[in-house]
Structure 1
Amino acid sequence: MTGQIFATCGVELAAVYVPSDNIDELRLAEASGDLHGAYEPARVHMLSGRSPVADACRAGRPQWITADGAGPEGAGGPVSLGALPLGGDPRLLGCLLVVRKGTDGFDDDQRAFLELYADQTAAGLEAAAARVAVPVDVGASAGPELLPSRGGTFVLTLRSGHMAVDGQVLQLLGVAPDDYDGHVSTLLECAVPDDVPALMSIVEPDRSTTHQQLAFRVRRPGGELRWLGLRCRVLPGPHGRPERILGVVGDASYLRPTPDEVSLVQRLSAALAGAATIRDVSRVVVESLRAPLAADRVAVAELEGDRLVVTLLDPPRPDAWPGAWRSEWRSEWPDASLHSLPTLEGAVREGHVALWPPGAGLEPGLAGIGPGGLAVLPLPADGRMVGVCLVGWDGEHRFGPDERSLLTATAGLVGQALTRAHALNAGHELATMLQRSLLPRKLPALPGGEAVARYLPATVGLEVGGDWYDVIPLSNGHVALVIGDVQGHSAGAATIMGQMRTAIRAYAVEGHPPDVVVAHANRLLVGMETDLFATCTYVDLDMEEGLAWVVRAGHLPPLLRLPDGTTDVPEIEGGPPLGVMAEAEYPLTEIGLLPGTLIALLTDGLVESASLRLEDGMRAVCEALGRADPADPGRVADDLVAGTRRRDDDVAVLLLRYDGMRVRPIRARWAVWRLPDAVMHARRFTGRTLRGWGVSEEVDMVQLVVSELVTNAIAHTQGEVRLDLTLAGDRLRVAVNDASPRAPVKSTSVDWEATGGRGLLLVEAMSTTWGSVPLSGGKQVWCEVALTPREDTGEVTAPAGTAPAGRAGAHR
């Protein structure tokens, strides 16, 4: 008899059938018990035939037959039986046949116990397959028994915590029957402390998963460490809530590690303790498993819902992996649906290590990983599966119990490490997301140049930093380049960074010169009553003339990569960091740029660290710029940050390649005097200017736009009004500046019989785009008009005519 489990379920005869060399044949491998000749188990079952064993294997689920008149008849009368498949798709390990006399059959609880026991037997078969030859004659020596002789059952009532166990379970745990008080907590005390959380997760009253299985360790009274296997099923009560847990506990000594495995697991545990990121955990797993197991491929992946997100593949080459994986190789690693690999999905769902020998009938996405053998390690943590590890061999590989022990121990360690790294990654990702949300999402397209930026957060400390950059298009063909760094790494530093970036952008758009912009930002930071300070470099670049005005507030100077390939660090006179002195002065330095010049702004995280002097870092960046190809600024930026893997500080890089204007804009300016016929003269000035520029078809439309904008400025503001016209290629920009900071408001509903309220609607209808920007002491209302493409007749200079109602400004 095979122990207390069968006695509890009323089983009088049990038999195990396993596949023979003939794939359509199951042969009797072992039998236990005796019906005293009342029933003789068949020695062979054909899978294509009709029998309870064949039916159960084909259906992949247990078959229960009750002796109610239609069931089988033995020599001694009717018998009831159950046929339970061992394993299943894609690998059938065999079938367990259980028989009892009489017509009562097996009740629901007995069937549940036997199905759990069948799962336990399947695990034993899988472990034994690599060690013993399957016997074909009853009574032949089979080495380790296929039907485990040590195993018992329990019933746990969730509401009360009472646990009814048979004597075999107590014997496995090393608890004397007189010392057992019937409560689950008494038995949990026998488990190794590291395994208690997994056991507790199974007995939680609100556990919704109906099937659970795990291996755990107990320390017996004499100090012996024993591996046990647990399989259980949660049964709901009348209201659908979990009420009872039926379980089977059996010996799992095949999981006991050897001394070599113990040392390997200890080294793995120590290495995982220092792994802070998911990629670090994955790298440790590959380094710890591939060489000792002589594996050809190792993959580690996280489970995110029903997606398999690969974190590391070794070897990291697409041609080393199956075509199904290469088709998903959209980015750095594949990201595929778990449903596309049903065998893998089943192994993860079952939650125990699955081993497939050479030639196993796996889907191509898995067969190509391990044609000589494949191990699938679901990674458990906190009662759920957080990932999976795949280990594959090209040559024939037979799995022994030692490897199963190693892989099982490894899976638990890696699962916990992945969960810990994921929590750290989540915190780092939150900090990074906060910081990135305060930086520009994309840089603007610039006429006469191309700007790119790169930002990398620190990897040491995982705290949010204060580096920032910005590219601000200004009027008259100017652009502002800004880079800065707030002291420290904290949410406070990120907050100050966001405020400083916003303030500098606002001051720059208002039209202040560079030194005034930086001085205003300094006074703002001083008034914030914070102990933090910031450094900053501000460059105002005229894209037409190639002149740059640089202001430096305690920050690194810009670096120049000249068209001939040489690099230069210009002497830029600087002022103190922002937030130190309220009345600090920030001098301007002018530098000239030739077309093809690359200007680089950077933060100190790129050029200075605990192991890198600032001078050496600056020299290395200059050398990298000299070797770079300025035709691709994005590649240049990538090359600059490529070597910063372990970073004590954030890294920000802003590059602009200055190309110069191919078609230089033409500008004309008119100062409008507040006279009754001011609008008429503004229209005349516009007509003369456009005809002088060779624009004829759109003159009437532009004059109407000018009429509306100038009329609004005169009617609703006080002080100076100025009209600016700018022709750039086939686009004409009309701008009217006034002294009122109040932005114009477009009417939402217009009475078309009224004499006003339609001006901005007309401007919007006749222009491709329009808007309003604040200026120092006022605002500018502007619009752009698309012109009919004209032949290039050379550079045109606007007339400088005057009229009684106005005066012409400078033209170029």
Structure 2
Amino acid sequence: MTARPDSGGGPAPDPTAQVLVRAVVDAVEAVGGYAGGLYLRSGTQGLLRIAVIAGLPGRLFRPWWRLHVNRPYPAGEAYRSGQSVLLPDAETSMRRFPQLVAGLPFPFASLYEPVSAGPERLGVLFVLRDATPGVAISAHDREALRAIAERLAGELSALAGDGAPPVWEGDPVYAPSPPRDNDAREAVDRLTQAVLSLDRQGRIRYVSAPARELLGPDGEGLHGRLVWEALPWLGHPAYEDHFRAVFLAHAPVLFPARRGRLPSGEWLSIGLYPGRDGVTVTIASTDPPAYAPSSMVRPGAGLGSPADRASAMYRPVALAIALTEAVTARQVSAVVTEELLPAFGGRQLAIYLLNERHLYLAWETGFPQGFLDRFDGVALDVRLPGVETLTTGRPMFFESMQHLAAAYPGIPLDSHVGARAFLPLIASGRPVGSCILGFDSPRGFSPEERTVLTALAGLIAQALERAQRYDTEAALARGLQAALLPNRLPVFEDVVTVGRYLPGTVGMDVGGDWYDVIETGPGMLALVIGDVQGHGVAAAATMGQLRSAVRAFALSGNTPEQIVRGTNRLLIDLDPGQFASCCYVSLDRESGRACAVRAGHPQPLLRHPDGRTQVLDLPGGVVLGVDADAAYPVTELMLEPGAVLALYTDGLVEMPGTDIDDGVERLRASLAAAAPVPLTETADRLISEVGDSANRPDDTALLLAARIPDPP
């Protein structure tokens, strides 16, 4: 399924889009909303895209068109959990999803309903409506939204059967706005005040006669166009918060705006008056506000205005909240791209990090390919704005590339003509690097914007410094963990073993998963896998101690039950309160007879020579480290020639928002479908699903053992 970018004419004509649009419109009407939409899965794992928007101008909400399911937003939680998320007011939203409110600090209610076909998540249906502080969303509305989501899931499943999988790529389509009542046009034309009428998508549906007279040439051909395209001076990023507020909060907004360039541009007073079907815009000439610096090409709303105060407060808050989740330097840079650029209307971003008195390019977006390569690795004694902003500690702002070229004659310039901001990245007095923001067109920077950008640069620097420390500490911890895992597994003529390990990517610490293959005697070997609770160096160290203990007990001639019992008691003595799961299998290589003991660990899988694959039902004891007197029953198995035994940790089968049994079944099906040889390819296939994910909440271990069939 692909999306057609909006061209002003409502939804795309294909049958799938019509199904989606109908579901969104029905949902909005069913619960008394004024806007809504639908997120669907995309072709990128873990990424949702808005497929349909109703009742909102998409241009103003572009930063929310894409959403990763692990981000702390209500749509992400509904998708992960498979449960409704209901937010009746701003207070509830702030308490549960502060990052949402930081980016959209307006009072509104919102309802999110997952769209699921059985265990498969397809997307999330959402509706926005007026806030009802202190009043919970009714059961009637919850059931109405759930019924529409269930109907949509059925329709999408049917379409998938016809070859249209519910995967969305590209921009959203727009549900049509309801028809407007135009009976009052003649009365409005009698007013001296200029009036425009917008639908819920921001398209101009009516222009009064005084408006055409006031706007002059700008007033021609307005009907049917987006207001920000028809009147570009209203499309400045400084005014976007006003329009977002009126479309979400349903409260009037007044602000001054400048038409045209300084010094000849005319100041106008803009009034926005919301209704359920659209927004009325009033425009009148006004005196210049108290704050109107001549240096600004296209100014913001002015010092002390509600919009500037809100921007100065919530933009740093939104970025700070998002930065707390960023772990690596790449994640920090991605957050800055997603949160900072849209807030200020920027199109280009470059982040340089300091290393041994040179600046190295760590991240870029929006610049011509290869343009920044010439600045990569530049020394701190070179006269460049990206260098001098760091060495002096002062941010530098240029209203256009002409201003930049005048200040730095001979500096290479790209094809853009817009403004540039160079921000020093300094954390706790220590230089970290520099950040460059680029804009498509010339613009000024008000004192508020300069202050906010400088403060944000400090937050970015702190996050990058933390990320650099993480990279160093994580490398040390992963080195420790790698040293504790076996470098190579023993090689036998009649049994092949293959191990795989993947660290988690979510969080700053390594885990405690391990595996081992031990030759315990003539013709005998032990297959072991385990998982220590928690993450970090402590978990890795405990893992190393347990692996050594199991190996020592096994080489001392103990039975499988004795080995697991002894390891259990040792863990209790070593670290009270710590616990681990484990599965130990003793295998006679010649006969294929095996004895298995399980301590709170996931059930192994067995693939028979004919391809039939089953989840073994091994009775087990409690996890290690809980009960010193715990018993661990032994189960006898038979591995025929050509059979494959799979031991694994829960990171391979446990995924956010899904049942672990579904993960085990998925793994069983993958093992059944895999070719029996070579075993290395089978291992790579089984672990590839989690390995391809950029967001793995847990580490993963896999151990495969196969008996080699007798030659024909």
Tell me which interval the TM-score lies in, with the shorter structure as reference length: 0.3 to 0.5
Larger Cα Rg: Structure 1 or Structure 2?
Answer: 1
Q: Which has the higher contact order (CA 8 A, sep 6+)?
A: 2
TM normalised by structure 1 equals: 0.41
Structure having the higher helix fraction is: 2
Q: Give the TM-score taking structure 2 as reference length.
A: 0.46
